[in-house]
Amino acid sequence: MIAILLDGIVQGLQLSLMAVGITLIFGLGGVLNLAHGQFAVVGGIAAALFVGEGLHPLAACVLGVLTAGLFGLIVDRTLLVPAYRCAGEERLLLGLLITLGLSFAVNGFLDFRYADIALTLRLPTPSYEIGGITVRSASVIAALIALGAFALLFAFLKGTLLGKVIRSIIQNEVGAGLCGINPARIRTLIVVLSAMLAGLGGIAQGLFSSVGTEMGNELTSFALIVAVVGGVRSINGTLAAGVLLGIVNAFASYLVGAYMTLLILLATAAFTILLRPQGLFAYRT
């Protein structure tokens, strides 16, 4: 039982890592990024390509994360500009449609060009035992990566002036603008940061299974579910929702099978939107 719980927590942290990017981009840019899983896949595939070039896996992973960030930068400075020009509903709609189109474009391109490339990271010691429980070292590393990333993110948001600026924009974009903050530059920073987090999530996924071109949509939908359940404007909520859904996922897969689990997760997301659109754990970050 404890093994399942741990497994669930690790999976949940992975999900949160993906979802927090959606939360950040939505909160700050007012764009619901439906191509988020594709950012992760871009990171994963790039890392796989660098490994193929003969680089050390660690260096390849760092480069993969940077590639995802670069991709995010390009998307933000080009494709999303027309969306940023609009405000309110119009921006949401335009952003949604653009990123939906982007997700197809990326899927199509990767499927065509890198169909047979996938990232699989193998660790020297697959598993070891602590107190009678077999722990996969992949789980430990993935959990550490996610926890580290979250610790850095929270330290950044709570501890630095830039973090304060970011939180102020999430709370009130117009108000922040009136205080002399340039939301456009911060937005770019956040999109790049979120893309890098997604890339990190994608690469961490490579520790468990292989990350191939076809995983983009699946990652996007899981991240979306987590972001929605946690509240699309709350970072703490996203983290909590990710861990919660990860645990639910692990137990449900164990008890009722993978198929029912997916339905349970989807239904949770649907009911959350209908009953508490602000998210289950919505309180301001």
Partner 1 sequence: MMRERHFADYVTLTAVVVVLALAPLALGDSAHYMRLATLMLIYMGYAVAFNIIFGHTRQLFLCLGALAGSSGYVSVVLTIKLGLSPWLTIPLGVASAALLGGVFSYVSVRRGLGVIFVGIVTLVFSLIFHNLVLGLRELTNGETGIETKGLGPAVLQNASASYYAVLGVVAASLVMYHLLMRSRAGKAFQAIADDELAAELAGIDVTFYKVLAATIGSALLGVVGAVYAYYSGFISPTVYSLVSVDIVVLVTLLLGGMSTLLGPVLGGAVFAVLDEVVRPLGRLNVLVYGILMIVLVVTFRHGLVAMLRKVVRIRIP
Q: Which residues bind partner 1 (CB under 8 A)?
A: 32, 79, 82, 89, 92-94, 96-98, 100-109, 111-112, 115, 221, 224-225, 228, 259-260, 262-263, 266-267, 269-270, 273-274, 277
Residue 67 or 272 with smaller CB distance to partner 1: 272
Name the minimum Å distance from CB 21 to partner 1. 16
In the block, tokens 């391109």 appear at 109
Name the minimum Å distance from CB 226 to partner 1. 12
* Residue closest to 69 by CA, chosen among 204, 227, 189, 206: 189
- Gyration radius of the chain over CA positions: 18
Residue 26 or 50 with smaller CB distance to partner 1: 26
* Residue closest to 224 by CA, chosen among 33, 40, 89: 33
Residue 3 or 92 with smaller CB distance to partner 1: 92
CA distance 29 to 255: 40
Name the minimum Å distance from CB 277 to partner 1. 6
Beta strands in 25-158 (DSSP E): 127-130, 133-136
Residue 20 or 224 with smaller CB distance to partner 1: 224
Residue 53 or 89 with smaller CB distance to partner 1: 89
Cβ atoms within 10 Å, residue 125: 7
Name the minimum Å distance from CB 98 to partner 1. 6
Our CA dihedral for 155, 95, 266, 138, rounded to 10 degrees, sits at: -40
Residue 96 or 184 with smaller CB distance to partner 1: 96
Name the minimum Å distance from CB 259 to partner 1. 5
**Distance, C-alpha 117 to centroid of its chain:** 21
Name the minimum Å distance from CB 202 to partner 1. 19
- 171's tokens: 């709370």
Beta strands in the chain (DSSP E): 127-130, 133-136
User: What is the β-pairing status of strands 133-136 and 127-130?
Assistant: antiparallel
Residue 97 or 151 with smaller CB distance to partner 1: 97
DSSP string, 138-173: HHHHHHHHHHHHHHHHHHHHHHSHHHHHHHHHHH-H
Name the minimum Å distance from CB 53 to partner 1. 25
* Residue closest to 57 by CA, chosen among 72, 69, 46, 73: 46
